[in-house]
Structure 1
Amino acid sequence: MARIIKKEDYNAKRNEILDIALKLIYSKGYEKMSIQDILDGLQISKGAFYHYFDSKQALLEALVERAGKEAAQSLLPIVKDPNLSALQKFRRYFELSINWKTMQKDLIIKLLSVWYSDENAIIRQKMISATLKQTPGFFEPIIRQGIEEKVFTTFFPEQAAIIITGIALNLADTLTDLWLSPTSDSSRFTKTDMILDAYFDSIERILGAPSGSLKCFGADAFKDWLTEEQSNIKSK
């Protein structure tokens, strides 16, 4: 007779496997991580692992799905808040992003170069693909609200949501490339501010939003941990 596992216990153990898998991905890369690494880390049998995931690919897909759900949980309250205007909702989204990076500063500093290594190219691409599918669904209702409020003039809310999602992803990659490059602090801060100005301006133009209405932070928001990251790179 098969052993019956409570749903809460099942989900807890499944998340435990996902947690250690994510740690291993950051420490050695998805390509180099093996199922045996997970078994050793949790002291579980191969049969126990396969009770939750039938392959390494299934594990990867579960990590991507969980990340998407976590992002949705943070974005949905913003989208549904009846007390926020469309401009406020967009700004709140950007502020949420920078606040998360600030709270996770130490983790980000340690993981940036690892996350962008060749060993994590597959999972990084999976995450990007999932974001490109999911995030426009959160942006579109905000854009439609902005059109109703007459602060956005775009005729293409659905397409604008897709384009802005791509811009946001590209911004993250562009800034990461800059921050990991061996340039002076003053040069990186100047370029970061210029990049942010350009990207926010592009988003405002796509939406037909008032100039300067969406930019809610500049390079100073990253100053502390950018300086620390550059110090870490120079010491390697």
Structure 2
Amino acid sequence: MGRNKYPEQTQEKIVEASIKLFIEKGYEQTTIQDILDALNLSKGGLYHHFKSKEEILEAVKQKRAQYAADMLHDLIDNTKAANAKEKLKKILYQWGASTQTHSFDTILSSQSNNPHFVMGALQNAVNQDAPIISKLIEEGVKDGSIQTTEPALCAEIFLLLLNFWTSPVLFKRNLDETKKRLSYLQSLMCLLGLDIIDNEFIENIAGSYDKTGMF
């Protein structure tokens, strides 16, 4: 890669090449030299942007968070449904079926034992994603399709349980154990007045985990 007078473009190319390598080889097996070879970049050119492979991984995590947020906003703007509850169900189904999101998750699964990394993901779920879901729940309360008294708290609980408690990566669970917890989450959300999980969603999300080799 020749000298690029736009540093942000070079940085983006480093992240994109690293994502591809992390998916193909795994994060631990990918070396800095692999990244340099993929880009025809010098060590100085890479270290100008990232001091270590760990910093590149942090950039990947940030890119995943931004991708998820952008995708969620796009789905909200473009998904049509009879009411807010049906719209939220459609959005969650498409969100869960995203191969790009699960590709990111395959990379980040290598950091499941890293407390700092997991804490950052928890904070993103509560501070970034939950308020978006909460607005949809509020719309459902207004149109009568959702019956819950605390939309904001309900959104936080839902995302924390869905993204972390049911995760086969964080707790080293198999397919059956994961589906059992997704089914229990379905029952729990019904009790909270947010019955947006159906059997099709459970099969979809479990299948996505299976396809990306998380079991």
1:1-236 equivalence runs, <5 A: 5-6=5-6, 10-26=7-23, 27-30=25-28, 34-81=31-78, 83-84=80-81, 85-101=83-99, 116-117=109-110, 121-122=113-114, 125=118, 126-170=120-164, 172-174=166-168, 177-179=172-174, 188=176, 193-206=179-192, 208-209=193-194, 214-215=197-198, 217=200, 220-221=203-204, 226=210
Q: Matches of 2:144 and 2:67 in 1, distance apart?
A: 31
Letter aligned with residue 125 of structure 2: T
- Which structure 1 residue ranges, 5 or more long, are not aligned? 181-187
Contact 1:90–1:214 at 8 Å: present in 2 too?
no
Q: Matches of 1:15 and 1:226 in 2, distance apart?
A: 29
2:144 counterpart SS class = coil
Q: Matches of 1:11 and 1:195 in 2, distance apart?
A: 42
Q: Matches of 1:225 and 1:159 in 2, distance apart?
A: 27
After the TM superposition, which segments of 4 or more aligned residues of structure 1 sit over 6 Å from their partners? Answer: none
The aligned length equals: 207
Identify the range of structure 1 (159-168 vs 129-138) with the bigger mean alpha-carbon deviation.
129-138
Give the deviation of 1:165 after TM superposition.
1.0
Q: Classify 1:79/1:178 alpha carbon distance in 2 versus 1 (closer, same or farther; 3 Å).
A: same
Deviation track 1:22-54 (CA, whole Å, cap 9, x = no partner) reads: 344443435x65544432442311221133334
* Higher Cα Rg, which structure: 1
Contact 2:186–2:198 at 8 Å: present in 1 too?
yes
| TM-score w.r.t. length of structure 2 | 0.71
Q: Matches of 1:224 and 1:130 in 2, distance apart?
A: 21
1:52 counterpart SS class = coil
Q: Classify 1:68/1:219 alpha carbon distance in 2 versus 1 (closer, same or farther; 3 Å).
A: closer
Deviation track 1:51-70 (CA, whole Å, cap 9, x = no partner) reads: 33345454233212211111
The alignment yields a C-alpha RMSD, in angstroms, of 3.9
Identity, in percent, stands at 19
